[in-house]
Structure 1
Amino acid sequence: MSLLDTKVAVITGGSSGIGLATAKRFVAQGAYVYISGRRQSELDKAVAEIGGNVTAVQGDVASLSDLDRLFGAVKARHGRVDVLFANAGLVEHQKLGEITETHFDKTFNANVRGLLFTMQKALPLMQDGGAVILTGSIAGIKGLPAHGTYSASKAAVRSFARTWAAEFKDKGIRVNVISPGAIDTPIIDGQADTQEGADQLRANFAAATPLGRIGKAEEVADAALFLASSQSSFMTGAEIFVDGGIAQV
């Protein structure tokens, strides 16, 4: 029997990177998966890669009406959510003294507001004994220059997990966090102006990581599968670091 046989999963930020790798893992393990993302073209590519048992719903987690469409689609077809992976987010670099309202609002709308309302909109469909996975970051526990807004947003994600684990313990809904280190996804490319700059970022992250390389999206997906399945049945309110040791040693 597969680890997620007959389960219904929702993954935000599911069109690329960690979200896409996790959607593939979940489907391979028997789940039906709903993915969301802002760009329809990327969602179409993701659906083709996943190959089956997947529905894509275009939308931005910062938009409550888009979230209503996402969970409306889930309700209409399946009527429930067994696994929620609130993965959508973004990172921009700005140092204190240069931070703009636009930067702050963009970061917190995606990483905090969007995540909170993703959870709240999913809640009426969440089954007793369900699993919620939130995407944090090593930035939530480290002091990284130019990451102040992003780091604060990810610290908020960690706090949500503790609160929600306590709030939903009587329903058996488990809430845990995955905090990746440097992972080879399009997010790294988005932090540089050129391909050369992105390659240098990858080299810098690899040099700073005890395992001597950056991670793969599939390695984070393996951790997400663990947290989504009964293999982690005695875990809630916890944080798993998939970071090659960069925040640990």
Structure 2
Amino acid sequence: MKKFSNKLAIVTGGNSGIGFAAAKELISEGATVIITGRRKEAAEKAAQELGAIPFIADQANLNDIDLLKEEVEKQYGKVDILFINAGITGSLTSIESMDTENFDQVMNINFRGAYFTLSKFTPLLNDGSSVIFLSSIVASTYKPNSSVYQASKAALNSIAKTAAAELAPRKIRVNMISPGPIKTEIMSKAGLDEETLKNIQNHLIDQIPLKKMGAAEEVAKLVTYLSDDQVSGYVTGTEIVIDGGITL
């Protein structure tokens, strides 16, 4: 019997990148996995490839979160693993030049949506279940032109720790994974061209002590570690950094 047999996992933003890799890993360990995504075609294609259950939902839309909760409750009743993964970087611009549309979009997905995903799903969490937030090392960095993205992840870490304290009486563990540079599509989605992306990647690799970018599959292994109460049952309110040493 696999470690997550008879367990239900939800992965928000599970149709690409780290979410996709985490869903794949959880399924390989026996979990039934629901992945969410904003784009119907992408979510359904990913679900078919993974053997997951797709649900079209935008984490920024609280009505979508309500619909997801209602469907999960009706079909499955309870949740064992909640990986709140969906997020965007938004436009990289200075505080002086920031527009409210970009600010709201980043905060609505990365912070407000993540907050209310946890809020609305808390009654469905089994006692002893695991909640994992995908944060980022940027939560504790202060690079120019990244103020909103950095702030959204710092806010996420704050609520994750508060949630860990609130849910501890039910033996529900809440943890954060903070990756450094990982090879995913998130930078492409920020609207950067191929040459710019390559230059950024080379610049990052030069700064990383291990001289390589991380892989989504490596982060996925941490998700399964934190989901397994047999090996991480004493871990809660913790931020695990996986960054090749770039923040040393």
TM-score range, shorter chain: over 0.9
Q: Secondary structure at the match of 2:34?
A: strand
Deviation, 1:48, is: 2.2
Report if aligned partners of 1:63, 1:114 keep a CA contact under 8 Å in 2: yes
Report if aligned partners of 1:112, 1:153 keep a CA contact under 8 Å in 2: yes
What percent identity do the matched residue pairs reach? Answer: 40
1:100-115 superposed matches below 5 A? 100-115=99-114
1:180-191 superposed matches below 5 A? 180-191=179-190
The one-letter code matched in structure 1 to 2:54 is A
Deviation, 1:195, is: 1.3
Q: Quote the residue 1:131 is aligned against.
A: 130
What whole-Å deviation, never above 9, does each CA across 1:183-242 have from its counterpart, x for those lacking one?
110002223431111122221221111110111100100011101112111000000011
Q: Quote the residue 1:30 is aligned against.
A: 30
Q: Quote the residue 1:64 is aligned against.
A: 62
1:19-168 superposed matches below 5 A? 19-50=19-50, 52=51, 54-92=52-90, 93-168=92-167
Report if aligned partners of 1:18, 1:220 keep a CA contact under 8 Å in 2: yes
> Distance in 2 between the 1:118 and 1:49 partners?
25
Deviation, 1:120, is: 1.0
What whole-Å deviation, never above 9, does each CA across 1:129-163 have from its counterpart, x for those lacking one?
01000011000011212111111110011101110
Report if aligned partners of 1:188, 1:201 keep a CA contact under 8 Å in 2: no
Q: Secondary structure at the match of 2:43?
A: helix
Structure 1 runs of 4+ off > 3 angstroms?
Answer: none
Query: How many residues end up aligned between the 2 structures?
Result: 246
> Distance in 2 between the 1:128 and 1:208 partners?
42
Q: Secondary structure at the match of 1:85?
A: strand
> Distance in 2 between the 1:49 and 1:242 partners?
27
Q: Quote the residue 1:170 is aligned against.
A: 169
> Distance in 1 between the 2:53 and 2:69 partners?
12
Deviation, 1:106, is: 0.8
Cα distance 1:36–1:131, how it changes in 2: closer, same or farther (>3 A)? same
What whole-Å deviation, never above 9, does each CA across 1:98-155 have from its counterpart, x for those lacking one?
1111111111101110000100111111010010000110000112121111111100
> Distance in 1 between the 2:4 and 2:203 partners?
37
Q: Secondary structure at the match of 2:89?
A: coil
Tell me the C-alpha RMSD between the 2 structures: 1.0
Q: Secondary structure at the match of 2:160?
A: helix
Deviation, 1:78, is: 1.0
Deviation, 1:4, is: 1.5
TM-score of the superposed pair, with normalisation by structure 1: 0.96
> Distance in 2 between the 1:15 and 1:63 partners?
17
TM-score of the superposed pair, with normalisation by structure 2: 0.96
The one-letter code matched in structure 2 to 1:79 is G
